[in-house]
Chains A and B, each alone.
Chain A
């Protein structure tokens, strides 16, 4: 089944403790992206990647890192999480930037 898989689905952590949210797609997509979704603000792009080793900032990149060492994986790294990073995170992928975007099921992160 074609899908974007994120893990974990739920995560509670404390301020300053490094964490990684994994994202994997099995559709051989070149374009991958991370979004956060907050009430009243909607979905906002954090980082995106056009292909392996090609990443760039979205609208809200502060406090986040990404890497794209393999085509299928695009992990999101929070080196020192803070409470304002409590949010619902989505990974997405598409064949190219102009094609249909497929979303994962989301990761609900709480930073205490």
Chain B
């Protein structure tokens, strides 16, 4: 079993829709949770970074962490065609040096 599971999609939504992206994990030692966005032929870029459980909002993006369920989510409000990309979740254990990534969900926002 992989430590981090993520539905690869692909996911297609109309412009303006609310998008929900999710990851589950198996190791309760994960404490730091991140979402990266990766455009085609580019390196990932950090979107959201949260510690432990709770919500974090940044513009149209909201990250949620539910440690009791071992489940994290990224919500995108008022989705735009420029949001079309692959979204990767990542997480790290306290004191550890490496990140564990999900396989990514490919999102297309249709104008």
**Could you tell me which A residues sit within 8 Å of B by CB distance?**
4, 33, 35, 40-45, 48, 50, 56, 58-59, 90, 92, 97-98, 100-101, 103-106
Residues of chain B in range 92-111 having any CB-CB distance to chain A below 8 Å: 97-99, 101-104
Does B42 make an interface contact (CB < 8 A)? yes
For the side of the interface on B, what is the size category?
A: 20 to 34
Q: Count the A-B residue pairs with Cβ separation under 8 angstroms: how many?
A: 46
Measured between alpha carbons, how far is A104 from B8 in the docked complex, in Å? 23
Within 8 A of A (CB), among B64-96: 88, 90
B interface with A by C-beta (< 8 Å): 4, 6, 8, 32, 41-46, 49, 88, 90, 97-99, 101-104
Instruction: Give the docked Cα–Cα distance between A45 and B49 (Å).
Output: 19
> In the assembly, what is the distance between CA of A80 and CA of B46, in Å?
33
